[in-house]
Structure 1
Amino acid sequence: QVATPMELYNNPIDLEAADFIGNPRINLVPGKAEMKDGQLVVKSELGGHTFPAEHLTKEQKPSSGEFDCVLAMRPEQILISREPVEGALPVTVYASQPAGSETIVTLKAGEDEFLSKELGQAHYDIDQKVWAIIDQDKINVYNKETTRLIKRAV
């Protein structure tokens, strides 16, 4: 991929580039997608999301029926709340790793695990229930079969 550093970081063109760039590594969560009325409708352990046509790439997508996809989010774009927040995803803490100036928290939604990165030192108990706040606009979606980006982060 030839792009500016920010474009490469925010919108890697395929899963290989997405997985290569960033520390800690990007979260990759399996899902199912379908095109409906020009929009991309995605379901995964992170819930359901509908992405408008203007956020989609020109990459070919199946015009009918469900297909496998991969949702990708950077750990620093996932916020954690200790209290319920409207629209947030209830999750449990699987692990918490203090790393000096930041804390890496492994969260679990259903069978899928993903990372959140918080600045500063934070303490979470294993199996603690928390809420993950994920900005839908920051999610990249890839076609699992082609590994190509089909929904850009905006």
Structure 2
Amino acid sequence: SNLDARLRMDMRGELKRLHHVSGATTVYVTHDQLEALTMSSTIAVMKLGVVQQLDTPDRVYHFPANLFVADFIGNPKVNLLEGVVKGNNLVNLGKFDIPMNTNGATGDVVVAVRPEDIDISTQPKDGAVQFIAYSVLPAGADSTIIARLDELEMTIKVNGISKIKMDEKIWLTFDPDALNLYDKKSGDLIASHV
């Protein structure tokens, strides 16, 4: 992990190829989540020596078993939104409601949504929530946008260089099929997109 970025990428490719050709079982320990996601067929996410999730990279990324795994995996980090189940398949996040699978849950919950799973528009849309573009961070192949609605902050990742300007009004839409729901107290996954 002390190699420069380009050399690290090359080494990941070589190690992955070597592993494929040899067919050997390999244990690779890393704190670099990108390495874990790209190098592994199975990932064990640990916290204080206890396995939190043992699964494929895809399942660890898209269906984290608990809030620790959801918050640990992903760059930019997952958006974690505290809310209350308001009714059948509806979660209130304070300023707005999100329709989603609640799997019969009640009470305090946390909704997790990945930055790349948020649709962003510069025009009002049905079901969209108005935010302000607080910061826009272009990075060549993609851009990260930090959006705010009062004290609520969301991170959105879009392809390419974003044309959105700081302080511009934007509208965010949350796809119910890309959301995970966690129990606020235990941190355990309650409902996930399928």
TM-score band by shorter chain is: 0.7 to 0.9
Q: Does 1:47 align with 2:81?
A: no
Q: CA deviation at 1:91?
A: 1.0
Rg (Cα) greater in structure: 2
Greater fraction strand: 1
Q: Do the aligned partners of residues 46 and 98 (structure 1) sit closer, same or farther apart at CA in structure 2, a change above 3 Å counting?
A: farther
Aligned partner (choices 166, 171, 181) of residue 131 of structure 1: 171
Tell me the C-alpha RMSD between the 2 structures.
Answer: 1.9
> Which residue is equivalent to 1:31?
83
> Which residue is equivalent to 2:69?
17
> Which residue is equivalent to 2:148?
108
Q: CA deviation at 1:88?
A: 1.2
Q: CA deviation at 1:47?
A: 2.2
Asked whether the equivalents of residues 122 and 164 of structure 2 are also in contact (C-alpha less than 8 Å), the reply is no
User: How many Å separate the matches in 2 of 1:148 and 1:40?
Assistant: 18
Q: Do the aligned partners of residues 46 and 117 (structure 1) sit closer, same or farther apart at CA in structure 2, a change above 3 Å counting?
A: farther
Asked whether the equivalents of residues 45 and 112 of structure 1 are also in contact (C-alpha less than 8 Å), the reply is no
Q: CA deviation at 1:45?
A: 4.3
Return 5+ residue gaps in structure 1 as ranges: none
> Quick one: which amino acid aligns to residue 6 of structure 1?
D
Return 5+ residue gaps in structure 2 as ranges: 1-52
> Quick one: which amino acid aligns to residue 142 of structure 1?
Y
Asked whether the equivalents of residues 101 and 176 of structure 2 are also in contact (C-alpha less than 8 Å), the reply is no
Question: How far does the alpha carbon of each residue in 1:88-141 deviate from its partner, in whole angstroms, 9 at most, with x for none?
Answer: 111111111111211100011232101110110013222210111210121111
Q: How does 1:134-153 map to 2 (within 5 A)?
A: 134-153=174-193
Q: CA deviation at 1:83?
A: 0.9
Greater fraction helix: 2
Q: How high is the TM-score relative to the length of structure 2? A: 0.67
Q: Does 1:88 align with 2:128?
A: yes
Q: How high is the TM-score relative to the length of structure 1? A: 0.83
Sequence identity of aligned pairs in percent?
Answer: 34
> Quick one: which amino acid aligns to residue 4 of structure 1?
T
> Quick one: which amino acid aligns to residue 82 of structure 1?
T
